[in-house]
Amino acid sequence: MAQLDVTNVRVGRHPDFDRVVLDLTGEGTPGWRADFNTDPRQDGSGFPVEYEGATSIDLWVTGLAMPEPVDGEYHVIGTVPGAGGVVTEVVSGGWFEGQTQFVIGLTGERPYSIQMIDNPKRLVVDILHEPGAAPEVKALGSPNLQDKTQDSGPPHRRAVTNVRIGAHDGFDRVVFDTVGEGTVGWYTSYTTDPIMPEFGEPVDYEGAIALDVNLTGVYLPSEIGEAYPPIGTTPGAGGVVVEVVESLSYHQQSQFIIGLTEKLPYSIQILENPQRVVVDILHE
């Protein structure tokens, strides 16, 4: 499970867009959900979050550790002013049950994107200056309810290093980052009672149903000379994916259980540079 802290928020103005950067420390990868909101409210209390601007991007970052005091004081990010572009300011709405709210005040609705960048770890929100159409993120492949199988490619020596979850318009995306040589394969199926291969033990997960994903041609990172921490359980990002549970690795395979709110059409395929396995699950 991700255990991250947001240490700083930065706002920059570029020729065609503004960039908001959330600097992160800790283990794992965050999830997130975001939408336009003229009246953002704190989760839990329901109190309004006051901000300057005509509207806001109400951004919730998940997988964050509970804030801890340092020398008896909590680190407070507070309000970060804009840089003279379309972002007026960024207001921290506080932490609640593993997620932190950030309200990005805007002069008006603009196309935006959100992505993770590593080395160092940070979440980046880019907001275009012009209100024209933004590139639309679409589900890959042809999602359906069928079981899916693909053979791994030689030399069959890859490892899964991380799991990321994002909620998009119309679908959730689960990404399995990998390193090594060869091409990852898989076999997948829906079940309400996933079990560990070889051992027959049940795999506990949150959700109404599970997508049982077995990736083939993979080892533990340590078995191919790579050093990465255990993945554990990755929380969802507010869509149909409740969580992804790392089950076990055995005989060049790794099992992951994707807990879902219901049985939904999905696709799975490889993207390269870097190689990752992408599972897109439609919202309906």
pLDDT per residue as tens digits for the range 39-51: 999 877 788 999 9
* 107-124 pLDDT per residue, tens: 999 999 999 888 788 899
Instruction: Check if CATH label 2.60.40.3500 holds for domain 148-282.
Output: yes
All CATH 2.60.40.3500 domain ranges of the chain, comma separated, are: 3-128, 148-282
Judge whether residue 94 has pLDDT over 90. Answer: no
Judge whether residue 1 has pLDDT over 60. Answer: no
CA distance 137 to 53: 26
36 pLDDT tier (thresholds 50, 70, 90): very high
Q: Is the pTM of this model over 0.85?
A: no
Looking at residue 228, its pLDDT comes to 82
Q: CATH for 3-128, among 3.40.190.10, 3.40.50.300, 2.60.40.3500, 2.40.50.140?
A: 2.60.40.3500
Summarize the confidence of residues 266-283 as an average pLDDT.
91
CA distance 85 to 88: 7
Judge whether residue 264 has pLDDT over 90. Answer: yes
CA distance 126 to 116: 11
Closest CA to 255 of 205, 187, 172, 206: 187
Closest CA to 57 of 131, 109, 130, 123: 109
* 98-107 pLDDT per residue, tens: 788 999 999 9
Looking at residue 70, its pLDDT comes to 46
Q: What percent of the chain has pLDDT over 70?
A: 94
Q: Mark out the alpha helices in 102-176 (DSSP H runs).
A: none
CA distance 101 to 93: 5
* 169-215 pLDDT per residue, tens: 899 999 998 999 999 999 999 999 999 988 899 999 999 999 999 99
CA distance 99 to 223: 34
Q: How many Cβ atoms from other residues are within 10 Å of residue 203's Cβ?
A: 19
Looking at residue 45, its pLDDT comes to 78
Q: In the chain, count H helices and then E strands.
A: 0, 20
57 neighbors 106 (Cβ within 8 angstroms): yes
- CA angle 31-210-118, nearest 5°? 25
Higher pLDDT, 7 or 66: 7
Higher pLDDT, 216 or 15: 216
Residue 12: beta bridge partners? 19
